[in-house]
Structure 1
Amino acid sequence: MSTPQAPGLIRQLWYRWKKLQLPWRKQFLVGADLAGNTYWIFKDALHANRWRRIVRYSSKVHYSDVKVTPQWHQWLRHTRAEAPSIQEQQYDVSRQAMMKQLASRANDRWKSVPSYLDAPSAQQAQPALQPRDPAGYVQQTEPENKQGVMSAVEDAVKVQEVAVEGKDGKEVDEGRFKGSTREKPRERGPAPWEQQQAKGTPGESWQPATWTPGTAQRR
């Protein structure tokens, strides 16, 4: 990307002439960007001590393609007091070009690294994991594997037999850490609400008594 060139000699002389704050002028030129857009100031009609800032786009560029640089945008919004110079604008363009080159190089480096999102055919083969101590690694033979499986099955059968004996009501030793040792299951009695239903409720036999009026006493 080539850095935009500064305006020519005739254009610079025209800029200097327009920058002169002559008394009969209503607008004064402040500067221009590398795309040919010019920036002006003029006094506000309502406030005589306040200056307004505007931009006039170049006639060579369509309105939809006009781009205002961040430096000039800050000046238009009154967040920057001084207008940017031509040298500052050229340096900013070269800085942006350098940043794009560095970003493209970093993107190429990231693309060279294999990713799990790639297709299986495009992924690189992963190296097999090796033991830390190859000399101390002992491969287990097939008979030893079978013997370990058989012992695990026998232990599971014994545990199941103990559980079945506990359900039949025989003596079961669950160990001292479980809180019960050689205890039989307790027989459950009737629930409290069942006992109350058998006795009946107190209000079932209640009947209202008859009322007989008496004689009133004189005072």
Structure 2
Amino acid sequence: MGRSKLAKFAAIAERENVIEPGDELYGQIAGRWREHHFENDHPIVLEVGCGRGEYTVGMARLFPEKNFIGSDIKGARLWKGSTLAEEEELENVTFLRTFIENIQENFAANEVDEIWITFPDPRPRDRDIKRRLTSPRFLDLYENIVKPGGIIHLKTDNGPLYEYTLEVLQERKVKNLIHTSDLYNSDLQEHTMGIYTTYEKRYLADGVPIKYLQYKV
């Protein structure tokens, strides 16, 4: 591991806005995020596979009346989002370093109000279907921690992943499914709040349409 990554891991280990394995709260915070971390009763919005946390921080800026948690396993990536949140003194955002497979270790049933899946790895090979963050396996995890009526969102540039996810959701007969294969030429773009990740800007500059869908649990 390079010195830069080591320095970033050391930095997030000292930050109050990052919870990771080895911390006192990791694995113990489920059901207690509002009381023991945010110290309020505001809604909780979770971004899974948040990468550098651009979307999590962007939402936290716009909605101080909500709590935001960005989750990813890559500590060097979380360093970026946690740094931004710290510099801007955003008290309504934090980051959780964990594998998404282990998300239920840190959230109780019905604890989360919304989940965002933003530009996940499409895992195009058939043998990797179970690793797609919108596979039934992962949707079951999300739906276990989202409250009834809570919303799950997907934003992606990848057409096959978008079509795959639609098929999965239609088979599950989910509620209130809305979707578009060209977000910024649709009437659904208001749902994404004008937040663009670095990768999304590149896709748009290259003329790649962004796909979006949401449904209620």
Provide TM-score, normalisation by structure 2.
0.18
Q: Which has the larger radius of gyration?
A: 1
User: Which is strand-richer, 1 or 2?
Assistant: 2
Higher RCO structure, 1 or 2 (CA under 8 Å, sep 6+): 2
